């Protein structure tokens, strides 16, 4: 495999501890030519789905890279450490818990998958609690140096990998059954459907919608921007990834509604 200049790094490590910096150091010690792009380190702790959502959404905006993703609640167990090579030549490194699958499928599909079983590409001894440092980071760096994924260990059939599908909203009569995919730092609630889904139930941009969420029944305009409503008012807008997001102009929708990742949402026409 050709050398890569960038490792894109996503994790739930946060920035309060030294974990991210240590992983940077390990990678730069092996591949000093690389740049590490920190995509996100505040994935909700141990939340594989949140990591998978962010990884899938962000990879299309990154240059050719080794994608290192670590959200690993089963670290130290018998779960496998893996690398996935896509048909577009991108490589994803992380635990075999479904985290990598949605992004790999979107980036050309799985060409090959390999267990990270060759200790030549690890730090030793391998910690049972910090394999991001001792397995995933060194492997990512060796890949950036041009190591072939097939050299890392045994081949794994693609259908033997732990699978994961990001849920999609579904239509029932004239409304959508959806859920919150993620919440950004502004409190905007990203929902798991695109504008086409609303159009299918006869609710184009400019419509007034009923949104039911965490015991609340809201009348919300489907706007183009946050500023389509006054400060403090709810609005549904298309976000930068083309998903619909429930927001409060100059406010925090998540805090106001006490919503969380996975909160169920029903969106439809205002009754009557």
**What SS3 string covers 185-250?**
CCCCEEEEEEHHHHHHCCCCCCCEEEEEECCEEEEEEECCCHHHCCCCCEEEEECCCCEEEEEECC
pLDDT > 80? residue 270: yes
pLDDT > 90? residue 1: no
CATH number for 244: 2.40.30.90
pLDDT > 80? residue 166: yes
Count the domains in the chain: 2
CA 252 to chain centre: 22
- pLDDT (0 to 100) of residue 2: 86
pLDDT > 90? residue 269: yes
Backbone phi and psi for residue 211, each to the nearest 5 degrees, phi listed first: -120, 120
The confidence band for 76, taking pLDDT boundaries of 50, 70 and 90, is confident
Residue-wise pLDDT for 92-134, tens only, equals 999 999 999 999 999 999 999 999 999 999 999 999 999 999 9
Element at 95 (helix H, strand E): strand 91-95
pLDDT > 80? residue 272: no
Please tell me whether residues 155 and 55 are part of one structural domain. yes
Separation between Cα atoms, residue 264 and residue 133, nearest integer Å: 36
Q: What is the mean pLDDT of residues 162-167?
A: 94
Closest CA to 151 of 117, 125, 122: 117
Residue 253: inside a domain, yes or no? yes
Residue-wise pLDDT for 176-227, tens only, equals 999 999 999 999 999 999 999 999 999 999 999 999 999 999 999 999 999 9
CATH number for 149: 3.40.50.10790
Q: DSSP letter at 156?
A: -
Please tell me whether residues 28 and 104 are part of one structural domain. yes
Q: What is the mean pLDDT of residues 127-145?
A: 97
pLDDT > 90? residue 30: yes
Average pLDDT of the chain, as a whole number: 96
Residue-wise pLDDT for 31-42, tens only, equals 999 999 999 999
Structure tokens at 160: 């033997």
**Orientation of helix 137-144 relative to helix 19-30, angle to 10°:** 30
Element at 112 (helix H, strand E): strand 110-115
Structure tokens at 17: 């501890």
Closest CA to 234 of 208, 215, 258: 208
Please tell me whether residues 98 and 20 are part of one structural domain. yes
Residue-wise pLDDT for 213-264, tens only, equals 999 999 999 999 999 999 999 999 999 999 999 999 999 999 999 999 999 9
CB 208 within 8 Å of CB 270 = yes
Please tell me whether residues 206 and 77 are part of one structural domain. no
């Amino acid at each position: 495999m050709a050398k890569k200049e960038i490792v894109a790094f996503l994790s739930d490590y946060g920035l309060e501890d030294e974990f991210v910096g240590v992983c940077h150091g390990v990678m730069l010690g092996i591949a000093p030519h690389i740049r590490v792009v920190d995509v996100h380190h505040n994935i909700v702790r141990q939340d594989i789905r949140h990591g998978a959502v962010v990884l899938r959404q962000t990879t299309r905006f990154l240059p050719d890279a080794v994608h290192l993703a670590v959200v690993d609640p089963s670290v130290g167990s018998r779960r496998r450490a893996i690398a996935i090579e896509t048909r577009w030549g991108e490589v994803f490194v992380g635990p075999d818990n479904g985290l990598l699958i949605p992004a790999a499928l979107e980036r050309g599909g799985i060409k090959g998958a390999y267990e990270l079983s060759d200790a030549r590409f690890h730090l030793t001894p391998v910690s049972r609690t910090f394999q991001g440092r001792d397995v995933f980071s060194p492997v990512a760096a060796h890949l950036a140096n041009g190591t072939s994924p097939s050299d890392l260990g045994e081949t794994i059939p693609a259908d033997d990998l732990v699978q994961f599908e990001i849920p999609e909203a579904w239509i029932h009569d004239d409304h959508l059954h959806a859920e919150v995919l993620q919440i950004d730092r502004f409190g905007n609630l990203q929902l798991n459907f695109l504008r086409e889904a609303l159009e299918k139930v006869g609710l184009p941009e400019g419509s007034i919608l009923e949104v039911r969420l965490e015991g609340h029944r809201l009348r919300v305009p489907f706007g183009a921007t946050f500023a389509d409503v006054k400060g403090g008012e709810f609005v549904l807008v298309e976000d930068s990834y083309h998903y619909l997001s429930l927001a409060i102009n100059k406010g925090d929708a998540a805090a106001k509604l006490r919503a969380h990742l996975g909160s169920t949402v029903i969106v439809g026409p205002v009754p009557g």
